[in-house]
Amino acid sequence: MWTTVECAGHPRDMGLAQGAAARTAIRAELERTDLRVKRSSMPSLRGLASGPFRGSGAGREFYRHFAHQAERLEGLATTADVPVDSILNLHLRVRAGGSVGGLLSQRASVRARTVGHDGAEKRALLERTLPQPTAGEAGWILRESRPAVGFRSVEVTLPWMVSAVAGVNEGGLAVVAGPLLWGAPGRDGGSPSLLLVQECLQRFGDVSGALDWCAKRPVEGEQSFVLADASGMTATVVVSGRERRIQEGEGELYLEGGELPGDVRSEGDPRVDAAEPAEAAPVSKGQPDRVWLDPEARRLQIDAAGISIDLGLMD
C-alpha cells in the first residue's frame, strides 16, 4: 500500500507535515540502521556550532547551501520526535552509494523518450523503475509539495528524505534520479547529489534553468539525473564526485545501474551484518514497480503490484 503525504507552506512546515505522517516509518528506519531514535529533552544550539554533523564537514555544507531543505529536515525530525543529527546522518551516508545507499542504490532503470515532432505534438516522457525494499527497510511514498515560494510538485521519495527521487512540477519540469553508485573513498565534504532533484522541482519550470543550477551547486556522489520539460527538451546530468557532465538531447535514452537484490553488504556497512546478504521483501511476479512522468500534462503515474495511481497538477 502506498502512503501519500501532503506538505504545504514554508520549508519547516512541509517537514513538520511529513514527519507527522511518516513518523512510524522514520523511527523504524533509524532503529534498523542503528541510529539514535530518542530525541534530547534539552534544546541546544551546540549541534550547529560544534556538533559532529551540523557543526562541520558535509553537514555544515548541507545547512549552508541547501537552507530550505535543511529547514525541512528540522521540521521532519521534530514531529517524528527523533534527533536532527540522526536524520541528517541518513542523508549524508548515502553519498557512498552501493549497498550503503540501501533502496536508493538498488538496481533500477531510467528511461527518457521524446514522441512527436517540433510543435504542439512534441513531448517528453520519463520513467524510473522502483525496486522493492529489503525486509524491514522503509519503502517508497508519494508526496505533494506546495511550497509558500516556488513551484508545486508531485513526487516519489522515502519517508525520511527531504528531497524527491522523481517528480514533476506545475511549471512543466520533470526530474528523475538514477540509483546511487559506489563512490571513491575519502569524499566527505559535500552535500548529497540527490538534493538537486528537489531544488530543481521547486525553483525551475524548464530544463535550461535547472541545468545551470545543477552545474553550480556544491554536491557530491556517483549518480545520473534525467530532466525533461513541457517543450519536449531533455537532458542528462552526470555527477561523479564533485564533477558534472551535462548532455542535452532528445529521442530515446536508457540508463540502468545499481546493486542487484540480495547482494552482500560491504564490510563496515552500518546497515546490516556484512556476512549476511540482504533479505529481499516478497515481490509480485511480472513487471517491476515504476513511476512515469509527463511534464507536458504535469502528471505522475505509479504502476505497482497491479494497481495504478495517477496524480496531476492541472486537475
The pLDDT confidence band at residue 100, using thresholds 50, 70 and 90, is: confident
Q: How confident is the model at residue 274 (pLDDT cuts 50, 70, 90)?
A: very low
Please, are residues 154 and 202 in contact by the beta-carbon 8 Å criterion? no
pLDDT of res. 2: 87
What cell numbers appear for 68 in the block? 530550505
Instruction: Determine the pLDDT at residue 184.
Output: 61
Query: 55 or 313, which is more confident?
Result: 313
pLDDT > 80? residue 269: no
Per the model's pLDDT, the better-predicted residue between 276 and 194 turns out to be: 194
Cα separation, 297 vs 292, whole angstroms? 12
pLDDT at position 275 is: 29
Cell numbers for 193, please give them: 547529489
Angle of CA points 238, 291, 229, to nearest 5°: 55
Query: What would the pLDDT profile of 159-178 be if each residue is shown by its tens digit?
Result: 999 999 999 999 999 999 99
pLDDT (0 to 100) of residue 139 = 93
Alpha-carbon dihedral sign for residues 95, 93, 82, 165 = positive
Amino acid identity of residue 311, one-letter, is L
By mean pLDDT, which of 177-186, 212-221, 260-269 is the weakest? 260-269
CA dist 53 to 40, 122, 191, 315, Å?
A: 16, 46, 12, 42
- Identify the pLDDT of residue 177: 96
Q: What is the mean pLDDT of the chain?
A: 85
- Produce one character per residue of 260-297: b if its CB has 16 or more CB atoms within 10 Å, e if not: ebeeebeeebebbeeeeebeeeeeeeeeebbbbbbbbb
**pLDDT tens, residue by residue, 244-257:** 999 987 668 888 88
Q: Which of 83-87, 132-136, 228-232, 269-273 has the lowest mean pLDDT?
A: 269-273
Asked whether 290 and 129 are in contact (CB, 8 A), the reply is yes
Q: Is the pLDDT of residue 47 over 80?
A: no
- Counted residue by residue, the chain has a size of 315
Given pLDDT bands bounded at 50, 70 and 90, which one contains residue 311?
A: very high
Q: Which single residue is written with the C-alpha cell 530543481?
A: 200
More confident residue, 166 or 221: 166
Lowest mean pLDDT among 54-58, 111-115, 226-230, 233-237: 54-58
pLDDT in tens, 255-268: 888 877 655 444 33
What pLDDT score does 267 carry? 38
pLDDT mean over 64-75: 95
